[in-house]
Structure 1
Amino acid sequence: MPLREREVVVLRTCARCGCEYEWGVHVMVFAERAELSPAEVTSLTCGSPDDPCWTAGREAMLIRMVDALHDSCDVDDEPWRSAQELLDERQLLDVLLLCGWYHAICFAARTARVDLEPGAPRFADITSA
């Protein structure tokens, strides 16, 4: 998957898991490289795939997949068919594994109470903007 799409999945997963450490590192290191706008980072953190910043159908679909996986550990038939229209089998598997991998990272970072990185953004920086 391209960097931008990968970071959409990672940032949404970390935000939904409430893992400020991993989310902040990815915003600090990858958001600009992935050409994610401040509005997109805000939406990934506390918004919706229906926010106006998501003009690419693939990106909104990725957010919906992450949300479904986070909420129910599954993707219902209709959104799965939509995803199949936009992604090939390998990309679909990438999304599932990337989301799962970052859930595990978030669980570990939160449970271990990993200190936030100096200079990394905080959730409050986004949600209070």
Structure 2
Amino acid sequence: MVARIAPAEPPFAEGIQSSLDRVMRGRPPLRLFTTLARDPRLFQKFFAGGLLDPGNLTLRQRELVIARTTSLCKSEYEWGVHIALFAARAGIDDAQILSLACGRPQDACWTHEERLLLALCDMLHADCTIDDALWQSLASAFSDEAMLELLMLAGFYRTVSYLTNALRLPNEAGSAPLHSLRCQGG
């Protein structure tokens, strides 16, 4: 796959380089980041919206929402990056990876709280809202601040999926494949 917009080439402006250094921690910058680096304003706006810092959710909760959202959006690029970089650290095993890509919140591999997170992603993806019953269930498990973060996280990664899909970004080296997972019926 050939990207529709070529990434910026180093050297990057100081603000962009410092953001890349902070996020990438010595690894080469991701293609999404260098593509956005073509416009310093857009790059900074994107990084200002990032939610990968410690917040109101655990690493596992955050990564479940990101993986489910990017899977639902068929973002091979972003799914691959997050599964490769964070799944093991978040304790997400192979059965759970398959469920995130092809399964349902009711799958046996999830706890009650994790089922709520996946249901949130599914309902937001399908309806762009959450019904009262799910809201009440989530509110019994998460603080108001965590609820806000969950909504922002799912929305941000839907936006990221729009970017990566429409730009046709080729997968990063070492990223996890989404399209090759063997889903039942697919």
TM-score by length of 1: 0.95
**What's the counterpart of residue 174 of structure 2?**
119
1:11 maps to 2:11 = no
- Within the candidate set 69, 89, 112, 1:57 is matched to 112
Letter paired with 1:116? N
Give me the whole-angstrom Cα distance separating, in 2, the residues matched to 1:43 and 1:32.
15
1:110 maps to 2:165 = yes
* TM superposition outliers: structure 1 runs of 4+ over 6 Å: none
Report if the CA contact (8 A) 2:98-2:183 is conserved: no
Higher helix share: 1
Give me the whole-angstrom Cα distance separating, in 2, the residues matched to 1:70 and 1:13.
7
Aligned CA RMSD, in angstroms, stands at 1.2
Gaps of 5+ in 1: none
Give me the whole-angstrom Cα distance separating, in 2, the residues matched to 1:66 and 1:105.
15
**What's the counterpart of residue 2 of structure 1?**
58
Give me the whole-angstrom Cα distance separating, in 1, the residues matched to 2:162 and 2:179.
20
State, as a whole percentage, how many aligned pairs show the same letter: 36
**What's the counterpart of residue 87 of structure 2?**
31
Report if the CA contact (8 A) 2:73-2:161 is conserved: yes
Give me the whole-angstrom Cα distance separating, in 2, the residues matched to 1:123 and 1:21.
9
Q: Give the number of aligned pairs.
A: 128
Gaps of 5+ in 2: 1-56
Higher RCO structure (Cα 8 Å, ≥6 apart):
1
1:100 maps to 2:155 = yes
Report if the CA contact (8 A) 2:65-2:154 is conserved: yes
Give me the whole-angstrom Cα distance separating, in 2, the residues matched to 1:124 and 1:92.
30
Aligned 1:66-85 pairs, distance under 5 A: 66-85=121-140
TM-score by length of 2: 0.67
